[in-house]
Amino acid sequence: MTAIGVTVLGSGSAGNSIAVTSAGSTVLLDCGFSARETVRRLEACSIDASSVVALLVSHEHSDHVRGIRVLAKRLGVPVYASRGTRRAASLDALVADVREIRAGAPLALAGMTVTAFPTSHDAAEPLGFRFDAESGDSLGVLTDTGALTPEAHETLTSCSALGIECNHDIDMVETGPYPWFLKRRILSDRGHLSNTAAAEALSRLASGTLTSVVALHLSRTNNTAALAFASLCGELDRLGHPATVATAAQEAPCIL
Ligand SMILES: [Zn+2]
Ligand SMILES: [Zn+2]
């Protein structure tokens, strides 16, 4: 039992949200579902919506911010985002209490220390996050990035849990139905991590403290849960590492 509760409410191009709970308080990372659906999923996982003390936004894409206006109002909580995301998502027009978070400047939230780092994605100022509880448990979240940035590498070493984007299988993108410009975007270093790139990132981040890994943001068109799972498990096997692997889904929550 970790002192950080990690519940992926859902993950994929139709909506992303992760509830991170410590000592009875919850931070929601991204609000890509409607407010009603977000609360429904929280309750389905026995997380009281009134335990949410802050909303964190990684970047302005709609699969990460769709429910932010209604949810922030309904819960009466502040929204934290980078300056670039704040502007690009027009957060000040949507939310009463917007606060800025900067890469490399840790923040105390819900009894945890939250540290942001820059990701490499086609957004204004996208961030990834690490959550550290006083107990020493920690969660790193690396998603919506075309590369493991040096800052991500530095920040995410020695986490006890990791969420890593496994967006696509490269062959499925190349032979699949997407138009060429979209294929080029997905495969670029400002797009999304492939299963192969996620495994490479995992090999660089898997320290002795790591106990669990969850694959995030799987594409319905360009990936399968089995391929993502096999890619991460294969890497851990190669390393002789005992961490467990789960795959998050779009339709239903996944509790770590
Ligand atoms: Zn996304
Ligand atoms: Zn995105």
Distance 219 CA to ligand 2 centre (A): 12
Determine the pLDDT at residue 1.
39
- What gap in Å lies between CA 21 and CA 15, rounded to an integer? 20
Determine the pLDDT at residue 3.
83
Domain ranges, ordered by start, for the chain: 5-255
Here the tokens at position 145 are 């990035």
Give the three-state DSSP class for 184: helix
Contacts of 203 (CB under 8 A, 6+ apart): 235, 238, 239
Kindly tell me if the per-residue pLDDT of 211 is higher than 70. Answer: yes
Kindly tell me if the per-residue pLDDT of 244 is higher than 50. Answer: yes
Q: Which helix (H) or strand (E) holds 181?
A: helix 180-187
Distance 14 CA to ligand 1 centre (A): 8
pLDDT (tens digit per residue) in 87-121: 999 999 999 999 999 999 999 999 999 999 999 99
Distance 77 CA to ligand 1 centre (A): 23
Residue 254 sits at φ, ψ, to 5 deg, of -135, 120
What CATH architecture does domain 5-255 belong to?
Answer: 4-Layer Sandwich (3.60)
Between 220 and 135, residue with greater pLDDT: 220
Kindly tell me if the per-residue pLDDT of 45 is higher than 80. Answer: yes
Give the torsion through C-alpha atoms of 184, 149, 17, 54, to 10 deg: -140
Kindly tell me if the per-residue pLDDT of 2 is higher than 70. Answer: no
pLDDT (tens digit per residue) in 108-158: 999 999 999 999 999 999 999 999 999 899 999 999 999 999 999 999 999
Q: ∠ at Cα 31 (10, 195), nearest 5°?
A: 45
